[in-house]
Every structure is written in C-alpha cells, then in structure tokens.
Structure 1
C-alpha cells in the first residue's frame, strides 16, 4: 500500500483530500505546516506528498526545495496544489523548483487520484532504474577487480616465458628447425602479451584511468624499436615491408610505452588484414617550428574496409572480418586504443580505404616539440649498458625467478635471489645490492612493504624496481609512494630490461 502525505493548513480541505485518497486505497499521513511536513517526510518517507503552496510558516515552494536538497527525501514525488497561485508563471515556478506535478483547485477527485497514480508509476520506474544502475556499478567494480587479478595471473607466466626466450636468443639455436621453434614461441608470446595489455587497457580507458608518463623522446628511435620486433612477424606472413624513415630525430613529448603501443597496433593491424602484397610505412615531419608535427603513414594492399564500416573502424569491438572462421583474430579493441592514445598525445588518426580488396591507409599525426624545447644530448651522460651490478631479485614464482636470474647472470651481473619479502629485506642488508627487482604480489610481506623497509633501513643507496603483473595507474602511484624508483609491468622484454638497468 502506497503512503501519501497530505500537507494543507485548511482543515476542511485537508479532510476532503484525505478521504479521497483513503477511499482509493492509500495510507494517508497529514501535516498542517511546512516544517511539520519536512519532519514527517524524513521520518516516514512517504511515496507521494500532496503539498499545498500557501502554508502558514514557509511556502510549499520552500518545502519542496528543502525536500530535494535532503538526500533522505530527494526521491519522494511532490505534487503542488493551490487555489491561490493558479497563474501559469506560478505553475512554472513550482515545477522548476522541483515539483513533479501542479494541480490548481478546484480539481476533480479523479484528477487527483490519476495524478497520484502517475507519480507512483514514475517513481517506481526511477527506483528500478536506480537499482539497476547500482547493480551495474557493482558489476563494473567486480569486473575491474577481476581484470586486474586476471592481468596479474596471466602476466606472471608470460614474464617467465619471455625471459626464457631472451636466454635462448642469447645462446642461439642448434639448427634451423630449432630456430623456427624459437621464432614461433617468441612471436606468439609477444602476441599474447599484447592481447592481455589491450584487454586491460580498454577497461582502464573506458573508466578514464589511463595516464601518460610523458618525457622528451625521439619518435624515430622509438619507431625503429617497434620495427625491429614487428618486421619478422610481417615478413613471416610472406609480406613485403617497405619503410621510409627520417634522417633526423623527431622530438616530441610523449609516453614511450604508449607510443610503441600505437605503432604496434597499427602495423600489426595492417599485416593481419593483408594476405599478400606490401605494407608501406612512412614516417616524416610536416610543417616547421611551433606547428611541426610527425606524420606516420601506414598503407597496405589488404582486404580493405567497406564504406559502411569505415566510419566506425575505431569504435570499441568493431571488426572488419566478421566471418565465422575468425581467421584474422583480434579482440576488436586495438584501434580504439590507438585513437584514444593518439588523442591523449594531442594528435589525430584517420583511416581511408577504397573498399573491399582496395587496401587501407592509416595516418597518425602527433605534435612535435618546438626547437627551444628539444633536449641537448650529452655523450658524457651515457651509461654503459653492460656495466656489472649487484642485483637482488625478489620473486615468488620459481620459474620466473630462475629464468630472470640466468638472464641477468648472462649479462654479467652478480645476482642474489629471494622467494619472499622477508628474505629479500634480509639479503639486501647483507649483500648491499645496487639494484633490487621486487615483485609486488609476494607471500606474507608484499613488495610495497619491502620497498618501505629498504628505504627505511638502506636509504637512497639502492635502486628499487617494481616488477609486477599489476599495471593499473593506481598500482604505479602506490609503488612510487612506497619508495620504488620505477614501476615495470610484466612481462618485460629482455631488451627493455637491459635498457632499464642501463638508465638507473
């Protein structure tokens, strides 16, 4: 049974409305003043309030405003009634002030009941929508927690595999068959790692959780690194890769990891949708000084994009290949990430195609640094990447620990290992390492606590690097607050790890 609060200082009018409502099956409460109505509304939470505008203490307009301002009563339906304020401007004032309906007296009993029923239906629909929204928010929160845990659980084994690949590459294959197997493992592991990153990134992007870690960098050099990884993949598909790069650096302020992600997704997309022919890549500068921008043009001779799908090619989960066999693979999120990350760098991206069988072209434009902001390179600051260091590795995954240790020792470093945080802190105190590579998800004492303990007991004489499967912005921020110098998401490529150690 719905409850209606009837607020009117006229006793006869109040009694009449009460009887009409009660005869229609409603439970009726009553109040003669505005303040009494506010108290009863907060205490009893009626479904509808029939509120006269002219009251002896405060007006019905003011009562409605206070009801809407109070979180406990803001959802209650309010219907103004008045025999005095009946002009259109008064009705507008009441409705603009938060009322859901406005009846002028005299009105028929059937009109009153019909309006009450209408307001009840409206409030019921709003309650259902609010409940559904709360459920969706909770489901989204659980989904985010699941994705974070999924990323951690997937990245740990990927880290061990990728490190082991780095060791095999250093030793070289025994024969051509073994070399092919190494290549297959390497390509598929990188592909799986990229899928995991894309899956987690799209969740962060939809929540606005992606932050760029910008620094001045040479775009041409970054692109060269991507090419060195992707060229074998493209050529393994029997495609010809034509590349034209600038002879001079292209300096911009950007996030190196995110820029590599942009390049990788675009090039991988071009190779994936090209069965035979050529993938042409051109990187060059357009404009001068303050208006200069880097332009990346990637053109393929692949299956092309039909006109009806071209406009939505950057939309989330959009797929050009929708056939049952799904021969092209992919999650349909790579180009969404490209567009978002390019825009976050202040750039633009567009796609063109002549249709099926006509190939595609993607053009990315990114703003370059003004000449006065380009950093001066000092050769005296260069650090020998092969400089031997004392390294402490704290990792609870035995495969990851063993493969990482062998890789670091292969580079000439002295390596001590610990399977948990407690032993890690003890070994840091006894072995005095230059660098500590610390996993976050450790048993007992986690990596954050290890970093805090080392900063408190060792000080700033040790470089701390968080190696973790948790790649969220929150995890990065928490790592820096705990005392880490760097936060690196697993799996880390051997070449990247070598660069990190040289830069410390």
Structure 2
C-alpha cells in the first residue's frame, strides 16, 4: 500500500495512460475515480500522489491540503502535479503555496521523465518510512527501558518503607530513608518523563480527568521541587488565591506541568536566588479568548533567555547552554512535556524574558471550573481495612522478582494484612486453590505462566470473582492497561507503587462489599 502511486485525474485520458505507463515500469499504482475514493486510499497509505491541474478544483486542492496538514511528523507526502503548457494558472500557484512536497511537470510529459521522477520520489519516500521505523523502535526501547528500570525501583522503595516501620525512632535510619526516597522519586520521575515521550510520539496518552483543587496540586508540586531549591538556598514564594479553585484535569499531568517548569526555574537560578509562583483567574482566557482560565506565573531571578532561545526551549531533548557555556543537566524534555500536556488540556504555556541575566517568566494557562468553592477536603490517615467478618485481609503477592515480592509482603504484614508471597504463576494458582485470598497483587511479566494467563486461570475458579486483583507492573501504556482488565484484573498499578494506594483500593472494595452485604 505505502509504495503505490495514487493517480487522480477524473477527466480525460491522463489517468488510464499514466496507469499503463507505470504498469510497464513495474511501479505499483491505483487510479482513484472520485475524491471520496482518493480520501479512502490516502488513509490506507501512499508512496505519492500523481494528479493534474484541472483536478484540483473544486475540492481536490482542499483534500490534499488537509492531508498534508494532518500527516504525521515523519511524513512529507510527495505530490506530482501535471500542469498545462504555458504560464502558471492561479490553481498552480495556490498548489505551490499550500501543498508542501510538490513537483510540477508540464504536459506533454516524456514517459522516461515521468518514470525516473517517480523512482526518485519513491526512494525519498522510503527514507521517510525508515525514519518512522526508527522512531517506532526508539519508542519501544524507551517503553522497555522504563519497564526494566521500574522493576528494581519497586523493591528499593518498599524496603525503605519497611525500614521506617521497623525502626521508627532511629534517627540514622530516618536520614538514610530520606536520601533513598529522594533519589527513588528522582529516578521515577526521569523514567516517567522518558515513557511520556514515547507515549506522546505514538499518540498513546489519554487524560484521566478528575476534579481537583489547585491547592492540592500545588502541595504536591511543592514537595517535588522543594529539595532542589533548598540545596541551592533558593526561596520559592507561593502566592495562591485565598478562595478555592477547582480544576478538571488529569491530576498527575497537572502536577507534571507545574513541577517541570518550577524545577527548570530552580535549575537556572543561581545560589540564593528567588522563584515566585503566582496564580490568579484570568477571566478572558488570554489572547485565545477561550473563557475563564487559571493563569499561573513562574518568575525567577535566574540567567534569563535571549530572544533566539525562547522558541527553542520547548523542543524535545533541547539542552540549553548556561551563561558559562556549559550545557545544563537533565534530559531536555521537561518543558516540552509541560507544553504538550497543557495543550492536551486546552491550555497554553509561554515563556518571556528581558534578556540574559534578567530572569525568566513562564505563563501557564489551564481551563478552570466555574462555580467551585466547596473548599479543599483533607485526606484522613489510612488504616488497613478488615475483611467483612473482622479478620485480617488475606493478600497473595505474586512476583518472579523475589526481592520485590518479599519486601512488599513484609511491608503489608506490618500494616496489618495477612500476607503470603509466591514467585510464579503456577504457584499463585495453587495457593489460591489451597486458601482463597481476599486480594492478589501480581506482576505481569513473569516467565512461563505470565500474569495475564495466571489471572484468567484464577478467575475461572468458583468464588474468585470476589478476589480484588491488582496488576503491579512496570508497563504503563494504555494497551497494557486494557489487557489487564480483559484478563480479569480490577486495577493496573505501575511500579513503584505507594502502599497507601494499595490500602485505598482494598478499603474501597471493603466498603463496596459491606454495602452489598447489607442489601
């Protein structure tokens, strides 16, 4: 499909003659009799489009222009336009201005000229396909890398939490725990950023919107950014509205938007500097006029930006040079992710600066919910729920990484659960048959009998529909989440997971069971 030439010349003999010539030259082609057929065939893929000047109006030009405008980044669809002899018409001039990778050939065209031009066009098109394949392989590599990095992060975080429970009053242990937790959070964030790059470029990110307060988002952002600021003695000042502001956003992505930009401000602000975070309602929605928006300004006393740098800083993997000429640390993707996540929410991110040494200001606009004001609701400390009959909740942990399984099992035991750990799918099925648990926390990527197959086998047992099954894995893509639900899991958790998240899910199931039992 992708190497064929689509021919669109609905009048005259150009289409059948061109098809005959291409067949003799062993070039795959397809003649489109109507615009609707051309649109359908373009969706299936094409090496190039061969058309004629008179076919562009009416409708033909608009169809091709839409196709060119909406094609993926790797693609630059070649269009060969056969024109009338003589001066260029307005139709041809319009095509030159709006159809991108366009080549003009004046009729009558020599057969050899047309064939060699198409061979050259297809060779160039093949290079585009190679770029697409390289991008696909890169995305697969990043996803696999994220999975492999998340696996060791999970037992590290769980083991540190276990130390805290075992030695709650030991100051040296507390200091070690804080260091390890900070570094695990940093590594987790870097892994998440890498995976977000892969998901954005492959179109696999979907927003999980919920109503959250600005205060809750900013508390989380402050926790993520404060350590780096303290290390450089940078003061972050927060000027948030006194009244509560409600947002309809993907909570995790909203935190990323602000945390990436504030972290960037801290990175490029010298020791002892200042970062000011101000938030207010912009009733007009800025230049877009899209209605009320939350306008957050992040202004720093850092190295500033020159006019040429500002358009580049939002490019993926862009590394900005500092005043000393050294390149900054990091992956160079934080600002790009912030802008793309904001745009997915219907918002914007822009930067401004008075020049080098004058600091920078980033303006983030996100749509705001009107009529909010219920106030922030606090979250009560979590306690592990009990089963319906008052006994401890029985948990089965399944993971071929024994360190991960044992550390999570020990942590759950300390928090009041009745826990057993096994290390492969067959053992999980056998353990469930021997004594049915209330909850199963299971890795997906186990050798032999993987988590999907194990879950399906367990769900087939009588009474297994009452088991709360959590998939615990390094894979966070939407297709992995879909497969876990199809296999019978109730929830898909991405490593490293917080214990509080497991307790909340167990509590939600416990509450639901109580309601059903009361009916």
- Classify the TM-score, shorter chain: 0.7 to 0.9
Q: What is the distance in 2 between the residues matched to 1:153 and 1:285?
A: 42
**1:337 alignment partner in structure 2:** 337
**1:482 alignment partner in structure 2:** 487
The 3-state SS of whatever aligns with 2:261 is: helix
- Is the 8 Å Cα contact of residues 100 and 119 (structure 1) preserved in structure 2? no
1:412 to 397, 413, 416: 416
**2:94 alignment partner in structure 1:** none
> Larger Cα Rg: Structure 1 or Structure 2?
1
- Is the 8 Å Cα contact of residues 401 and 417 (structure 1) preserved in structure 2? yes
Deviation at 1:114, TM superposition (A): 8.3
**1:203 alignment partner in structure 2:** 198
- Alignment of structure 1 residues 70-469 onto 2, 5 Å: 115-170=110-165, 171-172=167-168, 174-175=170-171, 179-276=174-271, 277-287=273-283, 291-321=291-321, 328-371=328-371, 384-388=382-386, 389-457=393-461, 458-469=463-474
Q: What is the distance in 2 between the residues matched to 1:39 and 1:303?
A: 61
1:405–1:174 Cα change, 3 Å:
same
In terms of mean alpha carbon deviation, does 167-176 or 481-490 score higher? 167-176
Q: What is the distance in 2 between the residues matched to 1:489 and 1:312?
A: 33
Task: Normalising by structure 1, report the TM-score.
Answer: 0.73
Q: What is the distance in 2 between the residues matched to 1:395 and 1:339?
A: 37
Q: What is the distance in 1 between the residues matched to 2:39 and 2:368?
A: 51
1:45–1:212 Cα change, 3 Å:
same
Q: What is the distance in 2 between the residues matched to 1:173 and 1:162?
A: 19
The 3-state SS of whatever aligns with 1:387 is: coil
Deviation at 1:152, TM superposition (A): 0.9
Q: What is the distance in 1 between the residues matched to 2:416 and 2:40?
A: 68
CA deviation profile, 1:369-416 (whole Å, cap 9, x unmatched): 2338x899999x989543353322111112211221222223222222
Q: What is the distance in 2 between the residues matched to 1:486 and 1:440?
A: 12
CA deviation profile, 1:397-448 (whole Å, cap 9, x unmatched): 1221122122222322222212112222332343333322211111222222
The 3-state SS of whatever aligns with 1:460 is: helix
CA deviation profile, 1:219-240 (whole Å, cap 9, x unmatched): 3213213323432332133222
Deviation at 1:201, TM superposition (A): 0.7
1:464–1:134 Cα change, 3 Å:
same
Deviation at 1:325, TM superposition (A): 8.3
**2:89 alignment partner in structure 1:** none
1:369–1:114 Cα change, 3 Å:
closer
1:434–1:158 Cα change, 3 Å:
same
In terms of mean alpha carbon deviation, does 342-351 or 329-338 score higher? 342-351
